[in-house]
A and B are shown apart, each in its own frame.
Chain A
Protein backbone atom coordinates (compact mmCIF):
# COMPACT_ATOMS: atom_id res chain seq x y z
CA UNK A 1 0.00 0.00 0.00
CA UNK A 2 1.11 3.54 -0.65
CA UNK A 3 1.06 6.31 1.91
CA UNK A 4 2.47 9.75 2.55
CA UNK A 5 3.48 11.26 5.86
CA UNK A 6 4.15 14.96 6.24
CA UNK A 7 6.20 15.22 9.38
CA UNK A 8 5.15 18.73 10.42
CA UNK A 9 1.61 20.05 10.46
CA UNK A 10 2.83 23.64 10.95
CA UNK A 11 6.12 25.33 10.08
CA UNK A 12 6.92 28.95 10.91
CA UNK A 13 9.88 30.83 9.41
CA UNK A 14 11.04 34.41 9.13
CA UNK A 15 11.12 36.12 5.76
CA UNK A 16 14.47 35.57 4.07
CA UNK A 17 15.30 32.37 5.96
CA UNK A 18 15.32 28.85 4.46
CA UNK A 19 12.21 26.69 4.23
CA UNK A 20 12.19 22.94 4.83
CA UNK A 21 8.95 20.94 4.60
CA UNK A 22 9.44 17.26 5.27
CA UNK A 23 7.72 14.34 3.55
CA UNK A 24 8.20 10.59 3.80
CA UNK A 25 6.46 8.13 1.56
CA UNK A 26 5.77 4.42 1.38
CA UNK A 27 5.29 2.74 -1.97
CA UNK A 28 5.36 -0.77 -3.41
CA UNK A 29 6.21 0.68 -6.81
CA UNK A 30 8.61 3.22 -8.20
CA UNK A 31 6.55 6.24 -7.26
CA UNK A 32 5.85 9.54 -8.89
CA UNK A 33 5.86 12.25 -6.26
CA UNK A 34 4.42 15.74 -6.25
CA UNK A 35 4.23 18.86 -4.16
CA UNK A 36 1.11 21.00 -4.45
CA UNK A 37 0.50 24.37 -2.82
CA UNK A 38 -2.82 25.79 -1.70
CA UNK A 39 -3.10 29.47 -0.89
CA UNK A 40 -5.98 30.52 1.39
CA UNK A 41 -9.38 29.94 -0.20
CA UNK A 42 -7.78 28.86 -3.47
CA UNK A 43 -7.42 25.62 -5.41
CA UNK A 44 -4.30 23.50 -5.54
CA UNK A 45 -1.38 24.45 -7.75
CA UNK A 46 1.36 22.07 -8.83
CA UNK A 47 4.77 23.16 -7.48
CA UNK A 48 6.88 20.33 -8.83
CA UNK A 49 6.91 16.63 -9.63
CA UNK A 50 9.39 13.76 -9.59
CA UNK A 51 9.00 11.01 -12.18
CA UNK A 52 12.24 8.97 -11.95
CA UNK A 53 14.47 11.32 -13.89
CA UNK A 54 16.79 13.63 -11.92
CA UNK A 55 16.55 13.17 -8.16
CA UNK A 56 16.73 16.93 -7.55
CA UNK A 57 13.60 18.51 -8.95
CA UNK A 58 13.17 22.24 -9.45
CA UNK A 59 9.75 23.77 -9.31
CA UNK A 60 8.08 27.13 -9.53
CA UNK A 61 8.78 30.12 -7.28
CA UNK A 62 12.26 28.91 -6.28
CA UNK A 63 11.16 25.67 -4.63
CA UNK A 64 12.96 22.40 -5.12
CA UNK A 65 12.73 18.87 -3.74
CA UNK A 66 15.14 15.98 -3.54
CA UNK A 67 14.06 12.38 -3.97
CA UNK A 68 16.02 10.07 -1.64
CA UNK A 69 15.08 6.46 -2.20
CA UNK A 70 17.22 5.14 0.66
CA UNK A 71 15.39 7.42 3.11
CA UNK A 72 12.00 7.23 1.32
CA UNK A 73 11.88 11.01 1.56
CA UNK A 74 10.90 13.87 -0.73
CA UNK A 75 11.52 17.04 1.27
CA UNK A 76 10.63 20.46 -0.13
CA UNK A 77 13.08 23.33 0.28
CA UNK A 78 13.51 26.97 -0.62
CA UNK A 79 16.61 29.02 0.18
CA UNK A 80 14.81 32.21 1.16
CA UNK A 81 11.18 32.51 2.21
CA UNK A 82 8.90 35.27 0.93
CA UNK A 83 5.73 36.48 2.59
CA UNK A 84 3.81 35.21 -0.45
CA UNK A 85 4.95 31.63 0.34
CA UNK A 86 2.55 31.45 3.29
CA UNK A 87 0.16 28.65 2.31
CA UNK A 88 -0.60 24.98 2.86
CA UNK A 89 1.65 22.47 1.12
CA UNK A 90 0.73 18.92 0.22
CA UNK A 91 3.08 16.06 -0.54
CA UNK A 92 1.43 13.59 -2.91
CA UNK A 93 2.30 10.16 -4.28
CA UNK A 94 0.79 8.73 -7.44
CA UNK A 95 -0.34 5.12 -7.63
CA UNK A 96 0.63 4.03 -11.15
CA UNK A 97 -1.92 1.24 -11.26
CA UNK A 98 -5.19 1.93 -13.03
CA UNK A 99 -6.28 5.51 -12.91
CA UNK A 100 -3.27 7.43 -11.53
CA UNK A 101 -4.79 7.74 -8.09
CA UNK A 102 -3.21 10.48 -5.99
CA UNK A 103 -2.60 9.87 -2.30
CA UNK A 104 -2.29 13.08 -0.31
CA UNK A 105 -0.43 13.82 2.85
CA UNK A 106 -2.29 15.70 5.56
CA UNK A 107 -0.61 18.98 4.65
CA UNK A 108 1.88 21.39 6.21
CA UNK A 109 0.82 24.94 6.90
CA UNK A 110 3.70 27.36 6.32
CA UNK A 111 3.66 30.70 8.10
CA UNK A 112 6.15 33.40 7.10
CA UNK A 113 6.84 36.24 9.54
CA UNK A 114 8.36 39.63 8.71
Chain B
Protein backbone atom coordinates (compact mmCIF):
# COMPACT_ATOMS: atom_id res chain seq x y z
CA UNK B 1 0.00 0.00 0.00
CA UNK B 2 1.98 3.00 -1.29
CA UNK B 3 -0.62 5.67 -0.47
CA UNK B 4 -0.22 8.71 -2.74
CA UNK B 5 2.65 8.71 -5.21
CA UNK B 6 3.90 11.58 -7.38
CA UNK B 7 6.25 11.78 -10.33
CA UNK B 8 8.66 13.35 -10.98
CA UNK B 9 10.26 14.32 -7.67
CA UNK B 10 12.13 17.24 -9.17
CA UNK B 11 11.95 19.07 -12.51
CA UNK B 12 13.63 22.07 -14.09
CA UNK B 13 11.82 23.81 -16.95
CA UNK B 14 12.53 26.80 -19.14
CA UNK B 15 9.91 29.51 -19.46
CA UNK B 16 7.31 28.48 -22.03
CA UNK B 17 7.91 24.74 -21.78
CA UNK B 18 5.09 22.38 -20.87
CA UNK B 19 4.97 19.43 -18.54
CA UNK B 20 2.58 17.11 -16.72
CA UNK B 21 2.84 16.16 -13.07
CA UNK B 22 1.50 12.72 -12.31
CA UNK B 23 -0.31 11.57 -9.19
CA UNK B 24 -1.74 8.19 -8.25
CA UNK B 25 -3.41 6.80 -5.13
CA UNK B 26 -4.13 3.23 -4.13
CA UNK B 27 -6.56 3.90 -1.28
CA UNK B 28 -9.69 3.81 -3.47
CA UNK B 29 -10.49 7.43 -2.56
CA UNK B 30 -13.04 9.35 -4.56
CA UNK B 31 -11.59 12.84 -4.09
CA UNK B 32 -8.20 14.07 -5.24
CA UNK B 33 -6.50 17.47 -5.02
CA UNK B 34 -3.54 19.46 -6.32
CA UNK B 35 -1.87 22.09 -4.14
CA UNK B 36 1.12 24.34 -4.46
CA UNK B 37 3.32 25.31 -1.53
CA UNK B 38 5.20 28.59 -1.47
CA UNK B 39 7.30 29.94 1.41
CA UNK B 40 5.26 31.58 4.15
CA UNK B 41 1.92 30.81 2.48
CA UNK B 42 0.99 27.31 3.53
CA UNK B 43 -0.64 25.21 0.81
CA UNK B 44 -3.06 26.64 -1.74
CA UNK B 45 -5.53 24.56 -3.72
CA UNK B 46 -5.08 24.61 -7.49
CA UNK B 47 -7.72 22.11 -8.65
CA UNK B 48 -9.69 19.28 -7.14
CA UNK B 49 -11.70 16.32 -8.34
CA UNK B 50 -14.59 15.20 -6.16
CA UNK B 51 -15.00 11.99 -8.12
CA UNK B 52 -13.93 10.29 -11.31
CA UNK B 53 -14.97 12.37 -14.29
CA UNK B 54 -15.31 15.70 -12.45
CA UNK B 55 -12.84 18.51 -11.86
CA UNK B 56 -13.20 21.99 -10.41
CA UNK B 57 -11.05 25.05 -9.86
CA UNK B 58 -9.57 25.85 -6.50
CA UNK B 59 -8.00 29.01 -5.20
CA UNK B 60 -5.18 29.45 -7.76
CA UNK B 61 -6.08 27.65 -11.03
CA UNK B 62 -4.65 30.10 -13.59
CA UNK B 63 -1.95 28.57 -15.79
CA UNK B 64 -2.89 24.98 -14.95
CA UNK B 65 -5.10 22.22 -16.30
CA UNK B 66 -5.99 18.87 -14.80
CA UNK B 67 -7.21 15.46 -15.91
CA UNK B 68 -8.86 12.84 -13.73
CA UNK B 69 -7.82 9.88 -15.85
CA UNK B 70 -9.54 7.28 -13.69
CA UNK B 71 -10.27 6.82 -10.00
CA UNK B 72 -6.59 6.30 -9.18
CA UNK B 73 -4.89 9.00 -11.24
CA UNK B 74 -5.08 12.81 -11.29
CA UNK B 75 -2.60 14.76 -13.40
CA UNK B 76 -1.67 18.44 -13.41
CA UNK B 77 -0.48 20.10 -16.62
CA UNK B 78 1.42 23.32 -17.13
CA UNK B 79 0.90 24.32 -20.75
CA UNK B 80 3.40 27.21 -20.81
CA UNK B 81 5.48 27.37 -17.67
CA UNK B 82 6.28 30.72 -16.06
CA UNK B 83 8.81 31.56 -13.31
CA UNK B 84 5.86 32.33 -11.00
CA UNK B 85 5.02 28.63 -11.14
CA UNK B 86 8.26 27.71 -9.39
CA UNK B 87 6.94 25.91 -6.34
CA UNK B 88 6.49 22.57 -4.61
CA UNK B 89 3.40 20.74 -5.81
CA UNK B 90 1.50 18.29 -3.64
CA UNK B 91 -1.19 15.86 -4.63
CA UNK B 92 -3.66 14.58 -2.03
CA UNK B 93 -6.59 12.21 -1.86
CA UNK B 94 -9.44 11.80 0.60
CA UNK B 95 -12.55 9.89 1.49
CA UNK B 96 -14.23 12.31 3.87
CA UNK B 97 -12.44 15.19 5.58
CA UNK B 98 -8.98 13.75 6.09
CA UNK B 99 -6.60 14.26 3.20
CA UNK B 100 -3.50 12.16 2.59
CA UNK B 101 -0.59 13.79 0.82
CA UNK B 102 2.04 12.61 -1.59
CA UNK B 103 5.75 13.41 -1.19
CA UNK B 104 5.65 16.40 -3.55
CA UNK B 105 7.21 17.54 -6.82
CA UNK B 106 9.73 20.35 -6.66
CA UNK B 107 9.48 22.47 -9.84
CA UNK B 108 11.91 25.18 -10.89
CA UNK B 109 11.03 27.36 -13.88
CA UNK B 110 13.93 29.39 -15.25
- Listed in ascending order, the chain A residues whose CB lies under 8 Å from chain B are 4, 9, 32, 34, 36, 42-46, 49, 51, 90, 94, 96, 98-102, 104-107
Asked whether A100 lies within 8 Å of B40 as measured between CB atoms, the reply is no
Find B42's partner among A90, A100, A101 (CB 8 Å cutoff): A90
A106–B4 alpha-carbon span in the complex (Å): 23
A49 to B100 alpha-carbon distance, docked (Å): 13
> Which listed residue (A32, A51, A90, A96) contacts B43, Cβ 8 A?
A90
Interface size class of B (residues with CB under 8 A): 20 to 34
Q: A101-B45, A106-B40 are in contact. Are A43 and B98 (CB under 8 A)?
A: no
Pick from B43, B96, B98, B103: contact of A46, CB under 8 Å:
B98
Q: Which A residues lie within 8 Å of B48 (CB)?
A: 99, 101
Interface of A is mostly: strand
Known: A101-B45, A104-B43, A106-B41. A43 touches B103 (CB 8 A): yes
Q: A43-B4, A96-B97, A99-B48 are in contact. List 13 more A-B contacts (CB 8 A).
A: A34-B98, A43-B90, A43-B104, A90-B42, A94-B97, A99-B31, A99-B56, A100-B94, A100-B99, A101-B45, A104-B42, A104-B43, A106-B42
Hey, which bits of chain B sit against chain A, CB under 8 A? Answer: 4, 31, 40-45, 48, 50, 56, 58, 90, 94, 96-104
Known contacts A90-B42, A106-B41; A43/B50 CB under 8 A: no
Chain B residues, Cβ within 8 Å of A102: 43, 45, 99
Q: Which residue on B lies nearest to A99, using beta carbons?
A: B50
